[in-house]
């Protein structure tokens, strides 16, 4: 069973959910703001996705700009970056889909088709 971290008001998340539903992919939906991933879960997502930690940040989000994270993250350690991410689900790029051996961040139909079908 996949874990699908999403924010219901996010258009991209809605598209991803629609794709998963249409392709009859089973998942457990987790509201990313109400229940943001823990540091360990984020480490697992990074490991399974092969992404750099900076790719987990929602750089276009209001919170990211309000906290001036573009500057703060330049000198932050990975642990500090993970602390920022776990502090507020709105700082995390979404949706995130996590399976046993892989994870995707964001939604691109082609990536979902190659990963989750």
**How confident is the model at residue 5, as a pLDDT?**
98
- Cβ atoms of residues 76 and 106 within 8 Å: no
Q: Is the dihedral of CA 51, 54, 60, 62 positive or negative?
A: positive
Measured CA to CA in angstroms, residue 61 lies from 10, 41, 44 at distances of: 11, 21, 23
* Model pTM score: 0.95
- Beta-carbon contacts of residue 100 (< 8 Å; ≥ 6 apart): none
* pLDDT value for 13: 98
Residue 27 CA, chain-centre distance (Å), reads: 15
Q: Give the architecture-level CATH label for domain 2-116.
A: 3-Layer(aba) Sandwich (3.40)
Q: How many other C-beta atoms are found inside a 10 Å radius of the C-beta of residue 31? A: 12
Structural domain boundaries in the chain: 2-116
The low-confidence residues of the chain, meaning pLDDT below 70, are: none
């Amino acid at each position: 069973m996949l874990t699908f971290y999403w924010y219901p008001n996010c258009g991209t998340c809605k598209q991803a959910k629609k794709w998963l539903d249409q392709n009859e992919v089973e998942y457990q939906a987790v509201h990313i703001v109400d229940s943001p991933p823990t540091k360990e879960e984020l480490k697992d997502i990074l490991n399974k996705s092969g992404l750099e930690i900076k790719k987990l940040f929602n750089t276009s989000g209001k919170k990211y700009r309000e906290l001036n994270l573009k500057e703060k993250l330049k000198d932050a350690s990975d642990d500090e970056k993970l602390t920022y991410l776990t502090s507020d689900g709105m700082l995390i790029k979404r949706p995130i889909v996590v399976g046993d051996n892989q994870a995707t961040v964001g939604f691109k139909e082609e990536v979902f088709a190659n990963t989750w079908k």
